[in-house]
Each structure stands twice: as C-alpha cells, then as structure tokens.
C-alpha cells in the first residue's frame, strides 16, 4: 500500500450549457478560460479550480452547490446501498452491525456484484469528516454478547493476519488476496466483535478490525471497485472512532485521500488530507507518521494542477513547502510510538510519493530522480509498488523529452502484469501508452504498444 500516483465526463455541465443556448466557446469566454479547457472540463479530463467554479455559478446564475453537482457528478440521496445516515447513532453496536453486514454482503454473490457496481460518492465524505472530527467517542467499548470470550491474544492474531495479508497484497495483487481477507473478516473477526470483552480489549479490537477493513477497501480500490472501496474505508473510519484511536483514523483518512486523488477529486482530496494531518497533530504523532501525512497533503494540493499546461505557481510553492517539512520530519528518525502500519511504508515509499508530487507540478526531472531513488530503495516485498514507481518514472522521463528512457522504464513494469492481479497497474500502463500518442510514428513507440497489447492479451 505504498503507491500514490494515479475521468469520466461531466454530462450535467454540458447539459447546463446547452440549456442556456451556449456553445463551448461562448461558455469558456464568459467564465474566462480557453475553449480547449472548457472542453476538457466537460469530458472530465481536467479538474476545475475553486475560482472557476465560482465564475460558473455567477455566469449560469445558480448556487455553488448546483455547480458542484454538475462538476462532481453526485446527487446524494438516501438509497439502500448509500444511506444518508451512514454513521448511524455513532454507538458501538451500530458500528459493529453496519460493518459486519457489509462483510456478509461480500459473501453473497448477488450482493457482491451490486457492491462492485456502486459509484464513488463524494458527498458521503462530508458526513464522514464531520462525524470523525466532531462526533463524541463511545463511552465504553466493552461488550457482553453471546459470542466467545475475547482477549488481547485474539487481537494480536488479527494484527498478525493483517500484516500477512498486506504482504500478500504487495506480492500478488488484490485479485489474489481479497477473497482471503473477506473470508477472514466474516469467519474470524465477526464472531470476536460479537463476543465478550472489556473496555481495554474492546478498544484494541475495534482498531484491529479497522485495519483489516481498510485493507478490504484497499484491495477493492486496487481492483477498480471504487464505490465498494469507499464503503469499506468509511466503515474503517467508524471502527477507528469507536476505538478512539486517532492514528488509525489518520491512516484511513490518508487512504481516502489517495482514492480521491486517483479519481480526480482534488477538492475532497485536500479536505481529507488536511483532516488526516490535523488528526495526526492532535494525536502527537511520531515524526515519520507526520512526514507521511504531510506528503499526502502535498499530493492532494498538487492534484489541483493535473492537466494544466502551466501549474499554478502558488500551488507549487505550497507543495514544495509541505515536502520540505515532510523531509525534516522523516529525518528525525523512528519512534517507539510508530504504529504497526508504518512498517509497510518506509523511506522508498515516501520518496516515491514525493516524486509524484513533483511530477504533478511539472518538475519532471526532479520527479524522475525521486522515482529512480525509490526503485533502488525498495526490497523484494514490494513488487507492486515498484511497478507503479516504474510507471511514474516513465511518465516523468516523457515529461523531460527522454522518450527512450521513459519507454524502457514502462517496459520494465510489464512482466509484473502476469504475476500481479492488479487491474490498477494495467490501467496505469495503458495511461502511459496513451500519452505516447504524439510519438505514434516512432518505431520505438509502435513496438512498445504492440508488446503491451500482446502481454495484456496473454
């Protein structure tokens, strides 16, 4: 779980323009952008900055929330799969009931397919953020159910299983490990949550369950099931809240930030990242945890500039400031308080994430150097992470005009496609192949594309 880099069209924005009888050129002129930029907005190929959203609201004479609906593509109403009151009453009983129901649905083939088809709903994030930030922790995590007597040794087994499944995920991809994770949650964790335990064990059990649920969400994310992944991340945040563990909550918020960046939701990514940083600060997080959170915030901020020919100078300075702060924090060294999950995210992961930030703000040469450093630093456990960094390096080299070097790096990631059950990696390499279109007449490019298509077909 260490790669950080990454649309759909915006039909509502196009319909709003047509209702006013405006061409793309006229709408662009009224808002103050180029016709090409407006076209990319409607096609979902470029983010829309806050200032431009305000201009759209003024020009089209609608409120800001209506513009958000056009751009983000959501209309958040209660349904059986996306209830408005997803956090329920905040009680431990409601939390356990909701999360175990979600896990059980995964074992039912018809419900599993429904979950896989769910959309990512940005509006749900707002309720989760409010509930996490302002909700009152449960008074007691003790439980006196009819299940088994639960002790700290049971919690330890969950954490050890989480560690083992996480390593499997990195080596083999989500397609291999996800069924194992879901079976473990249903067969082993559910009975424990319904068992008998005191406050101390209950708090630790909630946090261990949060970690496993975050992994369930992560594997769904790797498979491209973004609505399902979001459901699991939300439940993981609820469990972290029930266990009153700020660092566990910050970790889930950070993962949600990554999903928002990947799905080109920069506004939500920034809010999530800031919530993660604020949570980590409230917890008095160890330096290396803070470093990770700061890099994530930098990545969220940099995602604003995705697709911009000339990245915003103010944004670039903010990103650079956050990265420098993260470097200083990481250099303070490890801490006895470092959480278990930090072990899966060492120096190479931090460097790779920083490289993604540099790439987003147009610092291609620096991004390539960071990617190369990360590749050399990873050990054999992080197979998938290395392939993503190879793809990131390829894109950075392309940005510097070093076509041959870029193709060489991307080509090095192709063999892992057969070993890793990771649709996200396939998508990343396809994205790079698409970026080669300006060079399609090159023999080198034709050979790379043919090789990639052949390997994907195989």
Residue of 359, 376, 270 whose CA lies nearest to 316? 359
The pLDDT value recorded for residue 73 is 60
Chain-centre distance of CA 314, in angstroms? 24
The pLDDT value recorded for residue 308 is 62
The pLDDT value recorded for residue 65 is 62
B/e letters for 315-334, b = 16+ CB within 10 Å, e = fewer, are bbebbbebbebbeebbeeee
Please list the pLDDT of the chain residue by residue as tens digits (458 residues): 444 343 457 888 998 898 888 999 999 999 999 999 999 999 888 888 877 888 898 899 887 667 877 886 644 443 444 443 344 556 888 889 889 989 998 888 777 777 787 888 888 888 888 889 888 888 889 999 888 999 999 999 999 999 999 999 988 989 999 999 999 999 999 999 999 999 999 999 999 999 999 999 999 999 999 999 999 999 999 999 999 999 999 999 999 999 999 999 999 999 999 999 999 999 999 999 999 999 999 999 999 887 666 667 888 999 999 999 999 999 999 888 888 888 778 899 999 999 999 999 999 999 999 999 999 999 888 889 999 999 999 999 999 999 999 999 999 999 988 788 889 999 999 999 999 999 999 999 999 999 999 998 87
Distance, first Cα to last Cα, the chain: 27
| CA–CA gap between residue 317 and residue 296 (Å, rounded) | 15
Residues 383, 416 contacting (CB under 8 angstroms): yes
The domains of the chain are located at: 11-72
For the residues of 165-192, what is the DSSP string, one character each? HHHHHHHH-HHHHHHHHHHHIIIIIHHH
Residues 255, 211 contacting (CB under 8 angstroms): no
Three-state DSSP class for residue 196 = strand
The pLDDT value recorded for residue 135 is 83
Long-range own/partner contacts, residues 182-185 (CB < 8 A, 24 or more apart): 182/103, 182/106, 182/107, 182/216, 183/107, 184/212, 185/103, 185/212, 185/213, 185/216
| CA–CA gap between residue 364 and residue 409 (Å, rounded) | 15
Q: What are phi and psi of 197, to 5 degrees?
A: -155, 155
For the residues of 101-113, what is the DSSP string, one character each? HHHHHHHSHHHHH
21, two tokens = 């009888």
156, two tokens = 């330890």
Residues 6+ apart with CB under 8 A from 420: 172, 173, 383, 384, 387
The pLDDT value recorded for residue 8 is 58
Q: Which CATH superfamily is domain 11-72 in?
A: lambda repressor-like DNA-binding domains (1.10.260.40)
The pLDDT value recorded for residue 307 is 60
């Amino acid at each position: 779980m260490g790669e950080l880099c990454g649309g759909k069209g915006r039909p509502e924005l196009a319909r709003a323009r047509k209702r006013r009888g405006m061409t793309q050129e006229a709408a662009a002129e009224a808002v103050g952008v180029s016709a090409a930029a407006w076209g990319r907005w409607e096609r979902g190929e470029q983010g829309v900055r806050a200032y431009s959203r305000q201009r759209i609201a003024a020009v089209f004479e609608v409120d800001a929330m209506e513009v958000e609906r056009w751009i983000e593509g959501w209309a958040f109403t209660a349904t059986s799969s996306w209830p408005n009151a997803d956090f329920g009453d905040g009680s431990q009983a409601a939390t356990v009931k909701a999360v175990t129901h979600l896990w059980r649905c995964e074992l039912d083939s018809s419900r599993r397919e429904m979950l896989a088809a769910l959309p990512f709903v940005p509006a749900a994030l707002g309720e989760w953020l409010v509930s996490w930030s302002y909700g009152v922790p449960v008074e007691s995590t003790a439980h006196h159910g009819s299940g088994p007597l639960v002790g700290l040794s049971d919690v330890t087994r969950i954490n050890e299983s989480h560690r083992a499944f996480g390593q499997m995920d990195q080596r083999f991809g989500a397609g291999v490990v996800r069924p194992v994770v879901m079976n473990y949650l249903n067969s082993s964790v559910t009975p424990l949550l319904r068992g008998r335990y005191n406050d101390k064990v209950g708090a630790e059990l909630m946090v261990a369950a949060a970690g496993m649920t975050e992994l369930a969400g992560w594997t769904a994310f790797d498979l491209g099931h973004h609505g399902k992944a979001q459901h699991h991340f939300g439940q993981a945040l609820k469990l972290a809240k029930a266990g009153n563990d700020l660092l566990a909550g910050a970790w889930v918020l950070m993962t949600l930030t990554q999903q928002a960046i990947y799905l080109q939701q920069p506004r939500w990514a920034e809010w999530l990242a800031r919530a993660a940083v604020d949570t980590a600060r409230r917890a008095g997080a160890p330096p290396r945890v803070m470093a990770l959170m700061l890099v994530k915030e930098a990545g969220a901020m940099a995602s604003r500039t995705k697709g911009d020919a000339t990245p915003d100078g103010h944004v670039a300075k903010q990103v650079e400031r956050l990265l420098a702060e993260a470097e200083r924090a990481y250099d303070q060294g490890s801490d006895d308080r470092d959480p278990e999950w930090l072990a899966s995210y060492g120096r190479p992961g931090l460097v790779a994430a920083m490289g993604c930030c540099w790439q987003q703000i147009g610092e291609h040469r620096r991004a390539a150097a960071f990617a190369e450093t990360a590749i050399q630093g990873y050990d054999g456990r992080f197979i998938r992470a290395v392939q993503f960094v190879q793809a990131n390096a390829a894109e950075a080299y392309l940005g510097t005009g070093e076509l041959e070097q870029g193709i060489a790096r991307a080509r090095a990631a192709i063999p892992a496609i057969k070993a890793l059950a990771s649709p996200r990696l396939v998508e990343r390499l396809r994205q790079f192949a698409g970026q080669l279109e300006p060079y399609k007449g090159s023999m080198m490019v034709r050979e790379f594309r043919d090789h990639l298509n052949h390997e994907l077909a195989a």
